[in-house]
Copies of this chain bind each other. A is one copy, B any other.
Amino acid sequence: MVTKAQKEEQLRAKVLKVAQQLFQQYGLQKVTMDDVARAIGKGKSTLYYYYKSKEEIFDAVVEHEIKDMLAHLRTALAQADTASAKLETFVLTKLRIMRQKVALYNLLYEDITRHYVQEFSERIRQHYLQTEVLMIKEILQLGVDTAEFKGITDLNLDQVAFVLTSGISGIEQHTLLSEQFGPAEENVKLLSRILVQGLKR
- Among B159, B197, B200, the residue within 8 A (CB) of A181 is B159
Nearest chain B CB to A156's CB is how many angstroms away? 8
Task: Check A194–B195 contact: CB distance below 8 A.
Answer: yes
- Among B151, B155, B170, B194, the residue within 8 A (CB) of A171 is B170
Chain A 134-155 residues near chain B, CB threshold 8 A: 151-152, 155
| Of A51-59, A62-70, A183-191, the one with at least 4 CB within 8 A of chain B | A183-191
Task: Check B155–A190 contact: CB distance below 8 A.
Answer: yes
| Of A10-18, A39-47, A160-168, the one with at least 4 CB within 8 A of chain B | A160-168
Q: Which residues of B contact A181 (CB under 8 A)?
A: 133, 158-159, 162-163
The verdict on A33 contacting chain B, using a C-beta distance below 8 Å, is: no
- Among B152, B165, B171, B201, the residue within 8 A (CB) of A201 is B201
The verdict on A175 contacting chain B, using a C-beta distance below 8 Å, is: yes
Q: Which residues of B contact A196 (CB under 8 A)?
A: 198
Given contacts A159-B182, A181-B159, contact A166 B195 (CB under 8 A): no
Task: Check A194–B187 contact: CB distance below 8 A.
Answer: no
For the complex of A and B, the 10 pairs showing the least CB-CB separation, nearest first, are A170-B170, A198-B198, A167-B167, A197-B198, A194-B198, A166-B174, A162-B181, A197-B201, A166-B171, A166-B170
Given A151-B194, A194-B195, output 6 extra A-B contacts at Cβ < 8 Å.
Answer: A151-B197, A155-B190, A156-B182, A160-B194, A162-B182, A166-B191
